[in-house]
Chain A
Amino acid sequence: MSENHVPRPVVASGEIAVRGVSKSYGEAHLAREVVKDCDFTIERGKLTVMIGPSGCGKSTLIRLLAGFEMPDKGSILLDGQPITGPSRDRLVVFQETALFPWLTTWDNILYGPRARGEVTPQTLEFAEFLLNKVGLREFRHKYPTQLSGGMQRRAELARAMINNPQIMILDEPFRGLDAMTKELMWEYYANLYEESGRTNFFVTTDIDEAVFLADRMLIMTNIPTQVRAVIEVDVPRPRRLADMVTSDRANAVKMEALAILHEEAMKSFSRGSKAAADFVEAYARRSAKA
């Protein structure tokens, strides 16, 4: 069986419009506004990366996009249709891993099709294809606890992709991996994205990850979160990590993003955030060197 001819279903990529969305938690006067009048678009077929200080409300936005929660104000539209709940159209790949520990790699990947009763010979062929694609053919009968961190994330990517979502939402999927595995995962994931051409929305706090992966970068303000700036990362694909390090454009984007993140950190620093203090200090040291 040739890997090239596997009949992958044609993906209709989606576009998400977030319009004036607000979300608070807590009761009445204790309520804390986490997202405020947030506006942005996740463009069709592009890889949009959202980056912002940790604890800025990115995960809240993900829950809203996925439909696990509803906004207090504003609307979220997928191709013009308002989002009313969770759906396979918008699949979330979670922080760390959410593979079912009681299922083997193979059964985890097939969870979605089985849940919807859509297991056809074509699905199985596609599952086989994905299993090879993420390099886990030898690990098909292993349980998640028997896989390394990197393998778990790859299995998770395959489990999401078999459902052919119109948009993949990834919430810091590579957090907690060691630096080397992480970089391998970037190339891996970028490759999967480039092949599929699907709309991807990727949330991170890691600037290098953001610059390497993004077509568009949304830089968020501190809480209550809004889009502070949008940067188009017009570095040609396919990208290699080695090329990105030496690319002037990539470095310029990185410096620009860092400057904005620094401003945001300064604001929360003046409000007494310890995490921001670390960032401000590291940034100062870095600019002194440059």
Chain B
Amino acid sequence: MAARKFDSKALAKGVFSILVFLVLWEIGSRSKQWIALDAFSWLRDMLEAFGFRSKYLPWIGAIPAPSAVLVAWKDVLFDAGYWHSWYMSGARVFGGFIAAMLVGIPFGLALAVSRTVHGIGFPVFELLRPIPPLAWVPASIIFWPTQELSIAFVTFLDAFYTVVINVVGGAKSIDVRFFQAAQSMGSSKADIFRRVILPGTLPSIVVGSAVGMGITWEVVVAAEMISGGGSQVGGTSGGGLGFFIWNSYVGGSYEQIVVGMISIGIAGYISSELLRHFGKYLTPWLRLR
């Protein structure tokens, strides 16, 4: 199995696309207009002819330029509080995520394997699932003794749903011939569970956890904003990246808002990438097509 060659072309394309994006953003931001370039003035005129006035549409100019963001970033880069925000959000995400895996995988497998569990558990599960995790925020603040636990709970919740749905779907889609083959070769029920259902579901668990991880980042940030930052250990920086953004907004530091947003993007990307690698390691038969 040859390791995938480092693809410098793909890297170049990626860097190029990010650079173009930053340049357009910089131009748009400095021009203080919602459609920046004069070359697009015909578009501006056309939109205005249809009744769109520039005062109804957001100015890119209202958003700080990347250069200004970079300066703001440089200021917080050596600030322990900023990194503590990373740490707090990261800890919540991974805590909620790992809890979701630990509870969700066995529960999903039980739903898939046992009709009794399915009959009892699935209706309740399906009833709770459509409730968006953010709708849980007020209730969970009341449920849980500490702010920290309520954020962790909300973070856990949506990853849990995603993992369970994927595990059930994955286990149910295992080809019936695998069970028949295992049975006729003398597998016991426990053996079929361990050597057919578990590996057969693993790809879905990996996919479910990747999706779940993304959702966890979305939810943790919103939960931090709404609940006012959780534990106040370490001052405002105890609130995580979500609170970091909120705090910047309240404090009027628009550059820092964008710094917070990009930080979340990077954090989410890193966690997804870690998970992808771990997933590949767990399912070696899938990468060898």
Contact = CB atoms under 8 A, between A and B. Distances in A.
Interface of A: 66-68, 85-88, 90-92, 94, 98, 100-103, 111-112, 115-116, 142-146, 159, 163
B190 to A, nearest CB: 10
Interface residues of B, number: 23
Given A100-B196, A101-B285, A86 B183 contact: yes
Nearest to B192: A115
A116 B285 contact: no
A159 to B, nearest CB: 8
A59 to B, nearest CB: 11
Interface stretch (B46-54, B161-169, B172-180, B251-259): B172-180
Given A143-B285, A145-B285, A112 B199 contact: no
B283 A163 contact: no
A90 B184 contact: yes
Contact of A102 (B180, B181, B184, B202): B202
A166 to B, nearest CB: 12
Contacts of A68: 180, 183
B185 interface: yes
A163 B196 contact: no
Contact of B185 (A67, A91, A94): A91
Most buried by B among A111, A145, A163: A111
Most buried by A among B177, B186, B195: B186
Pick the 7 closest A-B CB pairs, nearest first: A112-B185, A102-B199, A98-B177, A143-B285, A115-B187, A86-B183, A116-B186
**What secondary structure prevails in chain B residues at the interface with A?**
helix
Contacts of A163: 185-186
B119 interface: no
Contacts of A94: 177, 180-181
Nearest to A92: B184
Nearest to A98: B177
Given A115-B195, A145-B285, A145-B289, A98 B178 contact: yes
**What secondary structure prevails in chain A residues at the interface with B?**
loop
Contacts of B182: 111, 115
A91 B184 contact: yes
B186 A112 contact: yes
B146 interface: no
A176 to B, nearest CB: 14
Interface string B275-286: 000000001110
8 contacts: A90-B184, A100-B178, A100-B181, A100-B196, A111-B195, A115-B185, A144-B285, A145-B289
A115 B186 contact: yes
A85 B183 CA distance: 9
B288 A146 contact: yes
A274 B217 CA distance: 56
B191 interface: yes
Given A100-B199, A102-B200, A115-B191, A87 B184 contact: yes
Nearest to B187: A115
A103 to B, nearest CB: 8
Given A94-B177, A98-B178, A100-B178, A145 B288 contact: yes
Nearest to A111: B185
A143 B284 contact: yes
Nearest to B181: A98
B87 to A, nearest CB: 37
B188 interface: yes
A88 B184 contact: yes
A85 B186 CA distance: 11
Contacts of A145: 285, 288-289
Contacts of B187: 115
A89 to B, nearest CB: 9
